[in-house]
């Protein structure tokens, strides 16, 4: 395929995938960097990627793998800094907050649940496409989404309010 096809694919996919990736990882900057890296890799391998059954799935995996690598590195760096602070006797102040937002709630889900939720409701992909991108059966996607909505409801419900009858809404997309 020609580079022009890549450009059209990029323009169509980026506006949908970046917010989904941001919701998945909880960090807009990290999501933007990972999405850019994934698109660069896709362009470098476009002749192969364009022929795949699911170029979107390849892009999603590439971006999420990039985020996972960066998170592992960030965790290791934090552990090292903590050890250094502990050794030096320095104290730190941890920030706390009582507001529970959707992105924080998404981080409480398993990777599979979070991936299914953001692909289905933030990227607005049909369940069959989510299943294909995740490499699982459509029924597994449905069950995963059901359980994830239950967990999200627990995390975004204000203790002073009665339990909602439906799951929380993500950009107006959840039933």
Instruction: State whether CATH 1.10.260.40 applies to domain 97-175.
Output: no
The whole-angstrom separation of Cα 15 and Cα 104 is 22
Q: What is the pLDDT of residue 24?
A: 92
Could you list the mean pLDDT of each consecutive 10-residue stretch along the chain, which spans 175 residues?
76 92 91 95 94 92 93 81 70 40 81 90 90 90 93 71 51 48
Q: What is the pLDDT of residue 22?
A: 92
Q: What is the pLDDT of residue 133?
A: 87
CA distances from 168 to 47, 105, 140, 163, 165 (A): 41, 11, 21, 11, 9
Structure token digits, residue 17: 């995938």
Domain extents in the chain: 1-94, 97-175
Place of tokens 């933007």: 32
The whole-angstrom separation of Cα 144 and Cα 161 is 26
Q: What is the pLDDT of residue 3?
A: 52
The whole-angstrom separation of Cα 175 and Cα 170 is 10
Q: What is the pLDDT of residue 4?
A: 66
């Amino acid at each position: 395929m020609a580079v022009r096809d890549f450009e059209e694919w990029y323009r169509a996919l980026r506006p949908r995938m970046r917010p989904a990736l941001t919701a998945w990882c909880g960090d807009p900057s990290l999501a933007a960097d990972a999405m850019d890296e994934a698109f660069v890799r896709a362009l470098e391998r476009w002749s192969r990627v364009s022929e795949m059954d699911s170029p979107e799935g390849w892009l999603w995996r590439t971006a999420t793998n990039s985020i996972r690598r960066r998170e592992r590195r960030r965790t290791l760096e934090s552990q090292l800094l903590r050890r250094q602070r502990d050794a030096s006797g320095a104290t730190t102040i941890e920030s706390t907050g009582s507001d529970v937002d959707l992105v924080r709630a998404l981080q409480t889900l398993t990777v599979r649940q979070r991936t299914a939720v953001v692909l289905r409701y933030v990227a607005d992909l049909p369940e069959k496409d989510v299943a294909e991108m995740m490499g699982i059966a459509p029924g597994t996607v449905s069950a995963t989404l059901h359980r994830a909505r239950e967990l999200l409801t627990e995390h975004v419900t204000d203790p002073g309010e009665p339990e909602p009858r439906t799951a929380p809404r993500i950009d107006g997309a959840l039933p």
